[in-house]
Amino acid sequence: MDGTFEGETAFVLAVGILLVGVSLAIHACFMFLILKSQVWLKNRVLVAASGASLLLPSIMVATVWIAVSSFIQVALWAWVLRQFGRFDTFLDAFYFSGTTFTTLGTAKHVLVPPYRAFEPMEAATGMLASGLNTAVLFAILASMGRKRSGFEEFFR
C-alpha cells in the first residue's frame, strides 16, 4: 500500500475522532443548557402551572435546544466534509451530513476512501446524541410527573 494513502488515512481518522469529540462537547453544552433552562422554567415560570401548561413549555424549550445543537453539529461535519473537496456546495455537504447524522442515509453521495471513514463516525455521534436527547426528554417528563402527583393531572 502507498505510504501517502496510509498517512492520509491516519489524518482522516484523527480529524474524525477530533470531530466526534467536538460534536459531543457541543452536545454536552446544550444538554447543560437544557437542564438549566428546565430549572429556570420550574422555579420562575411554571411555579403554579399544571396540565399542558406545565408540560408543553418544558418540552418545547428542550426540543428547540436539541434542534439548535443538532443543526450546529451537522453544520460542523458538513463544513469539514466540504473542506476535503468532496462536495460541490456546502448545501450538498449539509444534506449528506444531516442524513448521516440522523442515520437516515442517502445513496446520492458516496465518500471515497479514506474519507468514507467519516460516515460511521458521524452516524455514531448522531446515534449517541439521539439517545442523550431521548434520555433528557424522559427526565423532563419524569420531573414534571414528580412535581405534580397523579398522571391524570397532565390532562386537566
How many domains does the chain fold into?
1
| 91 domain-assigned | yes
| 68 domain-assigned | yes
Residue 155 has pLDDT above 60, yes or no: no
| 134 domain-assigned | yes
| 61 domain-assigned | yes
Question: For the chain, what is the mean pLDDT?
Answer: 84
Q: What percent of the chain has pLDDT over 90?
A: 51
What pLDDT, on the 0 to 100 scale, is given for residue 80?
94
Write down the pTM of the prediction: 0.83
Residue with cell 397532565: 154
Selection from 7, 2, 22 nearest residue 121 by Cα: 22
Question: Nearest 5°: CA angle at 40, between 34 and 42?
Answer: 100
Residue 78 has pLDDT above 80, yes or no: yes
What pLDDT, on the 0 to 100 scale, is given for residue 84?
82
Determine the Cα–Cα distance for residues 91 and 82; give it in Å rounded to an integer.
9
Q: Which domain holds residue 45?
A: 3-148
Return the amino acid letter for 86. Answer: R
Confidence of residue 96 (pLDDT cuts 50, 70, 90): very high
> Taking a C-beta distance cutoff of 8 angstroms, is the pair 101, 125 a contact?
yes
Return the amino acid letter for 9. Answer: T
| 153 domain-assigned | no
| 156 domain-assigned | no
| 104 domain-assigned | yes
| 155 domain-assigned | no
What pLDDT, on the 0 to 100 scale, is given for residue 16?
94
> Taking a C-beta distance cutoff of 8 angstroms, is the pair 37, 62 a contact?
yes
Retrieve residue 134's grid coordinates.
431521548
Determine the Cα–Cα distance for residues 102 and 94; give it in Å rounded to an integer.
12
More confident residue, 143 or 77: 77
DSSP 85: T
Q: pLDDT per residue over 2-21, tens digit each? A: 556 678 889 999 999 999 99
